Structure 1
Amino acid sequence: MSEPAPPPLSPSILQAGLKGLCPRCGKPTLFTGWIKFANRCTACGLDFAQFNVGDGPAAFLTLILGTLVVGLAVWLQLALSPPWWVHVLIWPAFALAAVVAMLRLAKGALMAAEYQNAAREGRIDRDRP
């Protein structure tokens, strides 16, 4: 008699974000487009609509990458003293490309974290005094 196969391991938060893996079954079904979530996993049926990722990843990326861009721009100015138009050409394009490139990773990782930690919307317990 053969033993039943063990259940598949859920991917880590980083794996889910990098590869777009379903946080339950690990199949690459999390996204239907570059940053658009699928409605549900076609492999295990997990309803992705129940998770509320919202604009959190974009806000975090904007703040983190904005800090990086400002630091790099200051460094470039102090090291090479380029004309102002060089900064105008480089930094907006770099910031936009970095945010868009990292948005998929951040959204996937945040959804996986919500799933793994069973995070839900906060509720107020009205029965307490």
Structure 2
Amino acid sequence: MTDVASQTETFPETQTEGAERPMVPAMLRGWRRRCPNCGSGPMLKGYLKVRDACPVCDQALHHHRADDGPPYLTLLIVGHIIGPAMLWFFVAYEPDPYTFMAIFMVAATALSLWFLPRLKGMLVAIQWAARMGGFGQDEPPSDISK
């Protein structure tokens, strides 16, 4: 069991502007759907909606442009898992077509629903670490309503 002090040494509380943003820890935090900056605040509210800012460290997250990346990667990964599994299962057991379809439709849906928010979190974290799409700006975003 790890204590909180050792976690804060590995993942510092906040990153200052201009400081190096390591890619791998940010990706792991994103995969866990946590703030890429502090690693403890939730990145998502709901299933796929990215918060405007982290509730713990106040890191702005509204800059993200994940768009079609997470669904594309989800399809790519799930397809590479389900495709060979379908071939192996069909050759090994020669199931009834309806049983075969039911098993693999449920499996593909479950895997897709599991991967999608994790891949979205990871892509937002990659953008944060690479300072893409507004994540590298030193000034806070201007208020459009004024």
Same fold (TM over 0.5): yes
Rg larger in structure: 1
TM-score (norm 2): 0.70
Which residue matches 1:25? 38
State the identity %.
24
After TM superposition, which residue ranges in structure 1, 4 or more long, deviate above 3 angstroms?
Answer: 9-12
2:30 to 16, 19, 32: 16
Structure 2: how far apart are the matches of 1:114 and 1:42? 19
The code of the aligned residue for 1:27 comes to S
TM-score (norm 1): 0.78
Structure 2: how far apart are the matches of 1:38 and 1:60? 21
Structure 2: how far apart are the matches of 1:64 and 1:102? 9
Structure 2: how far apart are the matches of 1:74 and 1:26? 40
Uncovered stretches (5+) of structure 2, i.e. residues with no partner: 1-8, 16-24, 135-146
Q: Please list the CA deviations of residues 72-109 of structure 1 after superposition, one character each: whole Å capped at 9, or x if unmatched.
A: 11111111111111111011111111011111211111
The code of the aligned residue for 2:56 comes to A
Uncovered stretches (5+) of structure 1, i.e. residues with no partner: 1-5, 122-129
Shift of the 39–113 alpha-carbon distance from structure 1 to 2, 3 Å rule, reads: same
1:68 to 77, 81, 86: 81
Q: Report the count of equivalent residues.
A: 115
The code of the aligned residue for 1:8 comes to E
CA RMSD across the alignment: 2.0
The Cα of 1:9 is off from its aligned counterpart by: 5.9
Q: Is 2:101 aligned against 1:96?
A: no
